[in-house]
Every structure is written in C-alpha cells, then in structure tokens.
Amino acid sequence: MPETPEVATKVKKVATKSAAKAKAVSKKPAQAKKPTALRAVTGKGDELSIFARPLQKGAKKAAPRGKVAIIYTRVSTKEQAETNQSLSTQLERCTAYAERHGYQVVGKFGGTYESAKSDERKEFQKMLEFVKKSKLRVGYIIVYSHDRFSRTGSSAIGIVDELGRMGISVVAVTQPVDTQTAAGKLQQGIQFLFSQFDNDQRREKCMTGMEARVRRGLWVGKIPMGYDKVIVGKEVILKPNKTGKLIRLAFQLKAEQGLSNTDILKRLKAQGLILYNQTLTKLFRNPFYCGLISHGLLEDGEVVEGQHEPLITRQMFLKVNGLQAQNAHGYTQVKEDEELPLRHHIKCGSCKKPLTGYEMKKKQIHYYKCNTIGCKLNRNASKLHNLYEGFLAELEVDATYLPKLSEIMEETYHKLTEESRIEEKRLQTQHTELKKKLDTLERRYAFGEIEKELFTKFSSELKAELLEIEQNLEKCAPALSNPKSFIENGLNTAVTISSSWSNKNVQGRKQLQAMMFPDGVYYDREMEGYRTTRVNGFFSLSKEIERFLEAKEKGKSDANDHFSLPVARRGIEPLLPE
C-alpha cells in the first residue's frame, strides 16, 4: 500500500528525533568503573583493591622538572668585569654545555662583578628568586665552576640542598659531579668548602701584608675622623684637617679646663662640629690622636709608633683618659679578663651588635651584655661558655676516622688545587710573553723604527695587560709547602676542639675562636644557642667526610657509590674496611 504524504512526513519526524537522541547519548562520558592501580598491575579483579593504599589527603606527587636551565656567570672585581674576558669565556662554555646536553636555556643571570664571599648578592638573589618561582620549572643552574656559584662553604651547601629538594640541580661545567648520588653530593660540598678554604688562604695572605704596613706605622682601614689622605710623591700620608683642629680643642677643654662632655659638645657645635657623647668618648680613647696606632691586626694591648702627625701630646691623652675613667657605676668594663674570652666574638642575634662584658662587683659574677638601647640582652658568662663548648663539640671528629680522613683530605686537596696551579702557570707564561713583546717594542722605538705615537699607544696597552696579570698572580693562593703535616695537625685539633678551648688561657681561646669562626657567632636568645655565617673550611670539610664514612660503615649509603673526584684515581671506597 503506497504511503500518503502525511504518513511520510510523520515517519521522517520520528526518524529525525531518534537520530538526535542517539547522538546526544553518544556524547555522554562513559561511566565505567575505573580499575585500581593494583588491578591494573596484577591483571586481577576487584578482590585485591582493598589492599591498595589511598593517597593521603592533600598529598601530591612532585612533577619531575624537564631540561629547562638558566646560566649564571660572575667575576669578583670591577676590573675583571670591564675586560669581559672571564665573563665571555664562562658564558661561552656554559652555553656549549647546555647545547651538548640538550638543555633549553630560558635565562642568563650575573654577567657582572659580585664577590662570592657572601650569598647576599643582588644578581645571585635575583637568579635564585627566578628559579624558585618561575612557571617555566627550571631544573638546572649551569655555572662555569662551583666557586662561580658561591665561596661560602657550608652556606652554599645549604642553598644547594634547598634547591635540590625543589628538583633544581647546580651543575658546574668544569667540575662535573653526579648530585643524584650521596657521593656526588659530597664531592660538590667539598668543592664548595675548598672554595671557602681558598678564600681564607687569600685573606690570610692579605692580612699578613696589612699587618706589616701597620707595624711600619702606616694606618690601614677607614681613616680616623679629623684626618685626610694626602699624596706626597709616591707616598700616601695622613694630615689633620679642619675637623682635626676641633678634636684637638675637645682634648684641650677636657684636660686643661676639666669640662664635662656635655659642655664640650656644646662648644664644638658652636664651632660647626656636631657630635654625640658616645662618639666623643671614642675619640678621647683613641691613641691615634697622640701619634700611636692600636689596631685590630696587632696583638691585644700592643701599640706602634705612627708615621702620621699627632693632634695632641701623649701626656694630654693620658690626662684626658684619667678623667674619663672616673665613674660611680656598680660595675666595671673588663678589657682583658680570663672570665670573658668571648667579648666581641659573640654578637646579638637580634641587633647583630657585638656583646661586651662586665663584672658585677658585689656578686663577683661575670656577664655578657648587648649595649644596644632597648635590646636588654644580658646573660651569665658561665652559661654562654657551656653553650659555646657544645657548639664547638659539634665540629669534632671521631679519632678512629683519622687515618682515612687524613688520606682522603690530602688527595682531595691536591686534586682540587690542580686547577689553581694550572691557572697560575698559564698566567706566568702569558706574563713572560707580554714582557718580551714590551722589550721588543722599546728596542724598536729606541732604534727609531716606530713613531712615538705608536710606541705610546701599544706600550700603554701592554703595560695595562701586564699589570692585570700581575694582580691576578697575586690572588693565586700559595700552595702549602707540606699539606700532609698541615692536614694531620688540623685533624688532631679537630678531635678535641671543645676541650682545647676550655683549657687555654684567654689569648689561646681568642685565637681558636677566630680560627674556627672568622666572622664570629650569633647568640639566639629564643633557641638559647649559637649560629654562625661562616665556619673554618677545613673543619667543615673534615666533619662532612666523617659523616659520609660513618654512613658507609653503617650501610646507609649505596654500596656502589664511590667518593672520587673526576680526575682522582681512587676515592673513599678503597679506604673502607673489606
């Protein structure tokens, strides 16, 4: 029977509705039950799903970082930055390293001069801020060598550990180590510590030269108030200025008229010099104004004859200080006392100022005190001494590890100073070549082979290069004449640091304190303990290696981890007991 037009229209409408409904159903997501991780692995059914451990609430698996990197370059001085030789070499080598390993470089930082003695560097902090917060998820910081990254030893190790927990690795082009292993982390830490050790050696060399200048009667450091530098021929001497004449007047008013500090300050203000009472007291106590030098580079209580022009006589200086010593307080300041060896070595953890010391006369008890107004830090000396002994004990090493430590540290020293020796040899060769060129240039000028204008131009350039090389040679740390003896003596000290400090007199204690913590220590009143920004690199290194050896013996490190530098023939493994 043929379809009528009406029936055909109805059938068409029903078919259209059915097709639309089927299409809508096909777009809905599947509601199939998700298999558990355990079932997916075992291929078994839901009967094992009850054994699957669910993730804790809020727990997230850290996403691995890809091969995204940044490059950080640095030189130490403005002169090095201006020549751009070292910076361009660093950038070139780091870029080539990134290309060779398939890293995507998304940023370049540094490119200027910043001393690595502190990690509070502008470009350094800018770089750290970027890698920590960037959405690019940087996984690598590429540097030319570890000392370009930092020379702060233990502080650098702490920064690298923090970055490591975020999945960021510091890689050095010229000092490759595998920081994914315990041995690799230790190698990197040792390189940071030896960079600090190199700094300490250079500082000692510099301090020796400065001490020699002071002993010759020449002032080193910030010029005392009342003097200006004057160049006479090739010498730099200090001469009194207008302010110096007013300081002389202050001494005269105190010595001859016996005026109070308040009245003297009013007289000086009328003459145009505004001082505070504390500043005036410091001026009165400074022997520099009577022609003597008392400097931190000299032994305590030692003074030398200065080559500068004095403002007053020594008799006047002594008279003024006799008046200044009169006070009616219930305590006295102690300048040298066996009971207060930590004076000025300990700093207040809140205001960062050095602590002074005093003795309570009635109770005959010594105290350390912060003189900052409002700080109110005042602690019993015996308590702080006990805490200090414990702080030193944390750096002591077990005597049973001495043979292994001595051998490892001696080998490590030779390997890590090899680069410095190569650089020194290269500089000396370059210096000899430039010297020959300058001699040839002077000879040609003497025989009239070149014009004066050309001679002046090229000789000045050669002399500038020679001067730069000589300055870099001076910075090269001198090699130890007997590193084995040096290391053995140091390790013997490391065994009994705490008791050695306790048994020494005040001078011995101060020497040990300065050696262990060159920048002093900070007392934290909240934690009732000490912290420091810098520890002697030798003792940090010995403790770090001891921890590694101890972990090895207890089986807490991978047995396949070998502690060896990239060029070392053997590492820790052969030194361990079979």
CATH of the domain at 111: 3.40.50.1390
Same domain, 359 and 275: no
For residue 46, being part of any structural domain is answered with no
Same domain, 465 and 565: no
The pLDDT of residue 9 = 52
For residue 305, being part of any structural domain is answered with yes
pLDDT per 10-residue tile (average), the chain, 578 residues: 47 50 47 42 46 47 70 74 68 91 91 64 86 87 86 78 87 83 76 72 69 84 90 81 94 91 92 91 92 80 86 92 57 60 91 88 88 88 94 92 87 74 83 90 86 86 84 65 80 91 88 88 91 86 86 65 36 29
The pLDDT of residue 379 = 92
For residue 554, being part of any structural domain is answered with yes
Same domain, 74 and 168: yes
Token pair of 568, please? 């070392």
Range of 492's domain?
399-404+483-575
Token pair of 263, please? 């009245």
- Total number of domains constituting the chain: 5
Give the end of a domain, one of 136, 158, 176: 176
Same domain, 441 and 515: no
For residue 8, being part of any structural domain is answered with no
Chain-centroid distance of CA 12 in Å reads 85
Q: Name the residue with tokens 């025989």.
A: 447
Give the end of a domain, one of 475, 496, 512: 475
Let me know: does 359 contact 332? Beta carbons within 8 Å. Answer: yes
Distance between CA atoms of residues 327 and 11, nearest Å: 118
For residue 61, being part of any structural domain is answered with no
The pLDDT of residue 413 = 76
For residue 207, being part of any structural domain is answered with no
Let me know: does 91 contact 112? Beta carbons within 8 Å. Answer: no
Instruction: Count CB neighbours of 412 within 10 A.
Output: 23
Same domain, 471 and 491: no
The pLDDT of residue 120 = 60
The pLDDT of residue 496 = 92
The pLDDT of residue 140 = 92
Give the end of a domain, one of 324, 339, 359: 324
Per DSSP, the residues of 183-205 read HHHHHHHHHHHHHHHHHHHHHHH
The pLDDT of residue 106 = 92
For residue 183, being part of any structural domain is answered with no
Same domain, 470 and 569: no
For residue 303, being part of any structural domain is answered with yes
Sorted by sequence, the CB contacts under 8 Å of residue 93 that are 6+ apart come out as 144, 173, 174
